[in-house]
Amino acid sequence: MKKRGRVKFHKIKTWWLLVALIPLFFVDATLLRFDHIRMTELRDAVMAADEAEDEAAVSENLEKLKDFVFNNIVINVVDDNGEQKVTFGTGPFYLEHMYIRAANAALAEAEKNMANDGNPNGNVYAMASEVCRAAAIANGWTWNSPEYINCMMSEIQKYPAADELQTSITASLPSTELYRKNYASPVWAPSFTGFMLLLTLVIIVVIFIRGIWWVILRLSLLLA
């Protein structure tokens, strides 16, 4: 049986394999595209839940995203300081709204703690809030926007006696790395896409070996 199988395989012409690669390349590209689209859909669901301030949905959708990315081949193009790079996985993305909520909670706590601190400059937080509230109205910022938070921090830093408040806020603000996600996918996974890519690779290797063998035979005939 093994001998018969080898004979049948040797009867397969190399140009047949070359022709077979054309539809295989198309199928591989299509499957990789489908995997990328599915990853994007799951990542968008995470971002939508974050924007809706639904932390339970964020956690649930993050688990679905991780499970898919870890078990499939996801090729992605990400921007790295203006340079486009190909990577395996989601690429970095941020839960911006969750961070803003946490940052605002830290600012609110700082306001509560420092409202009656006896600062010679008065209530620094309230003074900064007056300036930034006017800027927010003029520029259309919301109270939980990054621009408003940056304005508050900038105004607070203008007061030399605000070191205690600044230290309190800095200690309370969460690290942005806690809200930065980047899930890497394997280079190969035992999925339908993975097995199709493996089949394509096997055919390419067979063609390559046959090509090398053909060159060796030609050289041996020329040198004989």
The pLDDT tens digits for 167-222 are: 555 556 677 788 899 999 999 999 999 999 999 999 999 999 988 888 888 887 77
Q: What is the pLDDT of residue 112?
A: 67
The closest alpha carbon to 47, from 185, 181, 183, belongs to: 181
Angle 163-172/96-114 helices, nearest 10 degrees?
Answer: 140
Q: Which residue has the higher pLDDT, 141 or 205?
A: 205
Share of the chain above pLDDT 70, in %: 79
Per-residue buried b or exposed e for 79-96, using 16+ beta carbons within 10 Å of the residue's own CB? eeeeeeeebbbbbebebe
pLDDT over threshold 50, residue 5:
no
- pLDDT class for 162, splitting at 50, 70, 90? low
- pLDDT class for 122, splitting at 50, 70, 90? low
Residue 155 to residues 125, 130, 147, 151, 176, Cα–Cα distance (Å)? 9, 10, 12, 6, 21
* Most confident range, picked from 50-64, 73-87, 110-124: 50-64
Q: Write down the pTM of the prediction.
A: 0.70
